[in-house]
Amino acid sequence: MEAYSADRSLKGKLRRRIARLACRRPLRMALERPMISFSFDDAPTTATLAGAQVLEARGMRGTYYFSVGLAGGEGPMGPYATEADARRLAAAGHEIACHTHSHLDCGKADALAITLDVDRNAEGLRAWGTAATESFAYPYGDVSIPAKRVLGGRFRTLRTVQAGLIEDGADANQLPAVGVEGEDGEAKALHWLDRAADRRAWLILYTHDVAPSPSAWGCTAEALGHLADAAQARGFEVVTVAEGARRLNL
């Protein structure tokens, strides 16, 4: 399976910029302590094993965005997790969250296609016996006005891959997040972690595979552990994405 890239053309960039102005759900928040969430997109098997082990060893839990249509298959980040993996994660207290079923690009698809694909994914997760999903992440981080319109009333939060902190006035339909990926992924994440601590903001980190030699979209277990330890040392409250949303009454 070859890696797919979201539309990086001028048209795509303009679409994402315009989407920031539409269908907004502004947050009202004033945290006493900064919050951090560790999330894993697409749920590669390594994230459900090594990634979960890193968090659980520290008493933390993460958020896993599953595309049921990918489950058990192979991708650029290695094998994807299965129903059994999702059940194990849920039993351990991790959040099972929603992508699209086929990893559909919500930036290019129309409203009906998005709705049907998300419906199918939600049905698949229910069939697995996991709790109703509360959090959604746009595959490839690609967003559009139709996607925000049809999904905004359905989930507590909709998450992108646009780097940033979640502070007062942030859009719950287009939340920023920071990737832990690539050679400088850990250093970049630490930079944002320090900013979040200073500003008492909510930081969502995301990655994909967690492996000794990760893909371009993943990280090592050591890097994830360093970030988890840094969050504890700086007094962050570690929450799943759904827990963070509930704290903000979403």
Condensed to tens digits (0 to 9), the pLDDT of residues 54-105 reads: 999 999 999 999 999 999 999 999 999 999 999 999 999 999 999 999 999 9
Task: Report phi then psi at 126, rounded to 5.
Answer: -65, -40
For residues 75-95, one letter each, b for 16 or more C-beta atoms within 10 angstroms of the residue's C-beta and e for the rest, the string is bbbbbbbbbebbeebbeeebb
pLDDT higher than threshold 50 for residue 1: no
pLDDT the model gives residue 220: 98
Condensed to tens digits (0 to 9), the pLDDT of residues 224-250 reads: 999 999 999 999 999 999 999 999 999
pLDDT the model gives residue 22: 81
Beta strands in the chain (DSSP E): 35-41, 63-66, 74-75, 78-79, 95-98, 135-137, 157-159, 178-179, 202-207, 237-238
Query: How far apart (Å, rounded) are the C-alpha atoms in residues 177 and 166?
Result: 8
**Mean pLDDT, the chain, whole residue set:** 94
Q: For residues 45 and 212, is the Cβ–Cβ distance under 8 A?
A: no
Confidence of residue 143 (pLDDT cuts 50, 70, 90): very high
The superfamily CATH assigns to domain 10-20+34-247 is: Glycoside hydrolase/deacetylase (3.20.20.370)
Locate the domains of the chain by residue range: 10-20+34-247
pLDDT the model gives residue 21: 76
pLDDT the model gives residue 23: 87
pLDDT the model gives residue 19: 74
Contacts of 123 (CB under 8 A, 6+ apart): none
Over pLDDT 90: what percentage of the chain?
A: 88
What amino acid occupies position 71?
A
Q: Which residues pair with 75 in a beta bridge?
A: 78
Average pLDDT score over residue span 200-220: 98
pLDDT the model gives residue 3: 66
pTM: 0.95
Q: CB burial class (10 A; 0-12, 13-18, 19+) of residue 234?
A: middle
Q: Which residues pair with 118 in a beta bridge?
A: none
pLDDT higher than threshold 60 for residue 210: yes
Query: How far apart (Å, rounded) are the C-alpha atoms in residues 7 and 138?
Result: 13
